[in-house]
Amino acid sequence: MKSTLTAALAVAAATALLLSPLAPASAEPVQPETPQETVEAQASVSNGRTNDTRAAESFQAMQEYLLVADGSGLYNEQYPVDAADRPYSYEWPFSQAHIAIADLANQPGRHGDQYDAALEVAAAAQEHYWDTETGKTGLPGYASYPVGEYGDGGDFFYDDNEWVGLLDVQRYLTDKDPAALERAKQIFDLVVSGWDTDTSHAAPGGVFWTQAPWSTDRNTVSTMPAAELGLRLYQITGESSYLDWSVRMYDWTNTYLQRPDGLYNDHLGLDGTIESTIWSYNQGVPIGVNVLLYQATDDEKYLDEAKRVAEAAYGYYIDEGRLDDQPAFFNSIYFKNLLLLQSVTHEKKYSEAMQDYGDLVWAENRDPATGLFTFEGESTQLLDQAAMVQIYAVLGWAPGHWRDLY
């Protein structure tokens, strides 16, 4: 994938961050490093052709039906557009569309190169959400709605910012772009400013979900992705503060939100009340955090924990048939972190489960006339369409690249 940050800067007239799944700095496809990787890479060829096609068709539908035709690079929240919808999507759906394009661009060779222009547009559009003025902790971040000429901004959500930060560090490792690394550091600083320091709270600590006054929850999804971002920054910079914060975030989440069976509850209130919904992305991210902790420390206990959580989640969602009840945009994050684990263990059942899910959704939730996916009601959500683009694109990667997923 070609570096696109400089071009996005020209388009946005701002520091644009190009988000993409992590790939080696070389433009050449990653070469398998072990006999097992060779087998996996060869096995991916037949599946990859199908998934490349599915990813391309799903992306084309996203651009045709959901991209706003005003040159902004922004998207609608859904198709068909409802009269009550705002002119553009919120940051969370946009970030997932941006990530989807980055996943496409990270496909090997010409399959990925053809998406470079779309990635430039998305990278510039990402900056329409960057707000330097209204953050409640005095630090800039991505607002929940575009700012400036495209909107009136909105509250900061820490998890929304973390997804962008994770792709920023991957962009740095792809293109060695210092601006992307600096933005990832800014986002991590923002997240740290969202750490609960009030000792009067039950279980003080954890990252708040949002700066909005109507929520004081501390969530798995705001704390564990922060740890994952910190670990990637530690791998890049070697600065121990990133590792220290990541371990602190990891330990807090495990202490207060992890169940004895390894699965994670959703969030904790200030009074200590636990919201116990078991969402798939809340299981996936801790798996990835454990893999990165294992890589950072060489301590086998983290790899063992990654395997334990992965097996518990596999049993809960796949063996017991709950996966289809989860939103596609949670499942894409869940599966990507499983592939990160698979890159270490080479246990192919995770990619096989991801393929099975992709096959099922293609058959049951896609309108072949439009290429759009619908899961509830009659509208297609940008979040769902982007999630399926991500799933098919990543399944089309050479498996050697999966070690760089978040």
C-alpha separations of 324 from 150, 199, 364 in Å: 36, 40, 11
Of residues 71 and 172, more confidence is placed in 71
Task: State the Cα–Cα distance between residues 64 and 249, nearest whole angstrom.
Answer: 40
Q: What is the mean pLDDT of residues 53-66?
A: 98
Percent of the chain with pLDDT over 70: 87
| pLDDT, position 31 | 40
Domains, the chain, in order of start with CATH, read 5-404 (1.50.10.20)
Q: How many residues does this entry show for the chain?
A: 406
Per the prediction, the chain carries an average pLDDT of: 90
Q: What is the mean pLDDT of residues 252-279?
A: 98
Task: State the Cα–Cα distance between residues 320 and 323, nearest whole angstrom.
Answer: 8
Q: What is the mean pLDDT of residues 90-110?
A: 93
Q: What is the mean pLDDT of residues 59-83?
A: 98
| pLDDT, position 311 | 98
Each residue of 317-346: pLDDT tens digit?
A: 999 999 999 999 999 999 999 999 999 999
Q: State the amino acid at position 205 in one-letter form.
A: G
Helix (H), strand (E) at residue 280: helix 280-297
Q: Is pLDDT of 14 > 60?
A: no
Q: What angle do CA 181, 343, 52 make, to 5 degrees?
A: 80
Burial of 255 (0-12, 13-18, 19+ CB in 10 A): exposed
C-alpha separations of 89 from 68, 78, 85, 129, 358 in Å: 10, 8, 9, 11, 25
| pLDDT, position 5 | 42
Q: Is pLDDT of 33 > 90?
A: no
| pLDDT, position 171 | 76
**Reported confidence tier of residue 137, pLDDT bands at 50, 70, 90:** very high
Percent of the chain with pLDDT over 90: 80
Burial of 99 (0-12, 13-18, 19+ CB in 10 A): buried
Q: Is pLDDT of 17 > 50?
A: no
Closest CA to 102 of 183, 229, 5: 5
| pLDDT, position 170 | 77
Residue at token pair 């072990």 = 34
Q: Is pLDDT of 290 > 70?
A: yes
Q: Is pLDDT of 4 > 90?
A: no
Each residue of 111-130: pLDDT tens digit?
A: 889 999 999 999 999 999 99
Q: Is pLDDT of 106 > 90?
A: no
Task: State the Cα–Cα distance between residues 212 and 158, nearest whole angstrom.
Answer: 10
Task: State the Cα–Cα distance between residues 326 and 240, nearest whole angstrom.
Answer: 36
Phi and psi, residue 75, nearest 5° = -125, 160
**Reported confidence tier of residue 47, pLDDT bands at 50, 70, 90:** low
Q: Is pLDDT of 7 > 70?
A: no
Check whether the bond before 146 is cis (ω within 30° of 0).
no
Q: Is pLDDT of 237 > 90?
A: yes
Burial of 271 (0-12, 13-18, 19+ CB in 10 A): exposed
Task: State the Cα–Cα distance between residues 181 and 189, nearest whole angstrom.
Answer: 12
Closest CA to 289 of 182, 381, 405: 405
**Reported confidence tier of residue 134, pLDDT bands at 50, 70, 90:** very high
Helices (H) and strands (E) in the chain, counts: 14, 9
* Cα-only R_g, the chain: 20
